[in-house]
Amino acid sequence: MSSSQNRPAIVWFRDDLRMADHPALHEAAASGRPLICVYILDDETPALHPPGAASRWWLHGALAELRGHLEAQGGTLLTLSGSAEKLLPQLAEQTEAASVHLHHRLHERERTQDDRIRQALGRQGGEVRAHWGTVLLDPDAVRTKQGGFYKVCGSFWKALQTHAVPEPLEVPVSLTFHAVPKTILSGARLNEKDLCPQTPDWAEGFRKTWEPGEAEGQEHLEDFLKDAVAGYPRGRDRVAEEGTSRLSPYLASGAVSPRQVWAALQKHGAHTDGPRIFLSELGWREFARYTLYHLPNLPFENLSPKFSAMHWRKSASDLKAWQRGQTGVPIVDAGMRQLWQTGWMHNRARMIVGSFLTKHLLIDWKAGEAWFRDTLVDADFANNAMNWQWVAGTGIEATPFFRIFNPTRQAEKFDPDGDYIRQWVPELGRLSGKALFEPWAAGEEELRKGGVILGRTYPRPVVDLKEGRDRALQAFRSL
């Protein structure tokens, strides 16, 4: 048996793949014990939702970068695949670990799993030390005057800002590590190459667009605050411009923490329009996670119960056309193709394609949520479901269902020169003006000059916009 102080401390990395502002790593390092840093890809627990295909590609890069940082300090990252409930206690037992350090998770299924792991480790004589490291504040800390939880983002955000958000932590100065023999859990080692698509390799556009990891995330944050945050109130809606932070995948993987973003904005000056509005977007992200904590049915059920009677259409062909960016509505197709090629979509475009799916096509938001969860590199269990319930009108705080975005007007307003459509729907590149936004309404001569043949080089719309709108309103009135 190892002497007490030589027994290692395990740091269990999950959606917090960074070294800085990592309370669990910080506490484990402060214990003076040698560290074992581990990540477990749990595809075996049915109640959990493992990462989608695009998130796995991102995970591959994020794990490699985190391992590089640890190796620079003399350690490494052990990556395993299998049931965390089985593997973590086994790892602790076989290495005689004294403690496991981790960050709380939000969904009740995840918290239940953590409780079972805590009990198993307790039976072995170890302990679990948990911290809040993926949110600004403990979700139980922000309460209404009656002691309940907030169901309106504005009220929640106002209340949260009366609390002190902890300052982000630096990378621990001194780290020592415990060498894990290769024989330990050798059959559960994760083959990280399997995280990347093989045949076909559809992630070429991801590699051209993104570089995962903590260092790149911090660079994104610094560049945004230096170059773009002042123009954020306008830039965040211009789909063809680089007016957003593009921090979402770094926040989703935990390469950047929300407290780091909060602190950077406070230092920058959070009271001018750009930083203030951007900070409110961080507040919406926090509210989504807060809602998931208090309402675990968020990803699975309409939070507005009247929508349980909604007669959603089941059209595999319309859903497939939407997924492939072949709806015949240019601004919708541009957004969906940007998603497929880069693993990301501009936020304004997300609202447009979401409204189109749930209202013009009258397809259940859960189908859109599932597609985004599989194809977004920034897929976030809480944020994704919250945003889909918002755009579908089914959430506790949502845009009214009868607010139906007109795709043409959205394109004219937020892509006035058509640059976004031309980039992602190049077969329409020679069209201009109204013909670019509504090719089905253009004259034959104009289409011919633009090299467009509807139904051949570009699809006819899967739905008449007016008819789709009327159908959605009729379904809503029938509730």
In a domain, 177, yes or no: no
The one catalytic residue among 127, 202, 241, 284: 284
Q: Is 312 a catalytic residue?
A: yes
In a domain, 175, yes or no: no
Q: Is 297 a catalytic residue?
A: no
pLDDT band at 1 (very low <50, low <70, confident <90, very high): very low
Domain count along the chain: 3
Between CA 231 and CA 247 the distance in angstroms is 16
Q: Is 365 a catalytic residue?
A: yes
In a domain, 151, yes or no: yes
In a domain, 190, yes or no: no
User: What is the pTM (predicted TM-score) of this model?
Assistant: 0.96
Q: Is 340 a catalytic residue?
A: no
Same domain? 23 vs 71 = yes
pLDDT for the residue 203: 95
Smallest CA-to-CA distance from 412 within 435, 444, 441, 442 is with: 435
Same domain? 424 vs 277 = no
For residue range 346-374, list pLDDT tens digits in order: 999 999 999 999 999 999 999 999 999 99
Same domain? 469 vs 354 = yes
For residue range 168-204, list pLDDT tens digits in order: 999 999 899 999 999 999 999 999 999 999 888 899 9
Same domain? 129 vs 139 = no
Same domain? 352 vs 221 = no
The one catalytic residue among 57, 58, 388, 390: 388
CATH number at residue 5: 3.40.50.620
Same domain? 245 vs 366 = no
Any idea what the Cα angle at residue 222 is, between residues 241 and 386, rounded to 5°?
65
Same domain? 249 vs 325 = no
pLDDT for the residue 271: 79
CATH number at residue 140: 1.25.40.80
Radius of gyration of the chain (CA): 24
Same domain? 110 vs 143 = no
Same domain? 46 vs 90 = yes
Find the mean pLDDT for residues 102-110: 96
Same domain? 448 vs 421 = yes
The one catalytic residue among 347, 412, 427, 446: 347
Same domain? 98 vs 163 = no
The one catalytic residue among 312, 406, 427, 446: 312
Smallest CA-to-CA distance from 247 within 344, 160, 389 is with: 344
End-to-end CA distance of the chain: give it in Å, rounded. 67
For residue range 278-321, list pLDDT tens digits in order: 999 999 999 999 999 999 999 999 999 999 999 999 999 999 99
Contacting residues for 243 by C-beta, under 8 A, at least 6 apart: 228, 231, 232, 234, 235, 236, 237
Q: Domain of 142? A: 135-168+213-294
Same domain? 387 vs 249 = no
Between CA 9 and CA 353 the distance in angstroms is 46
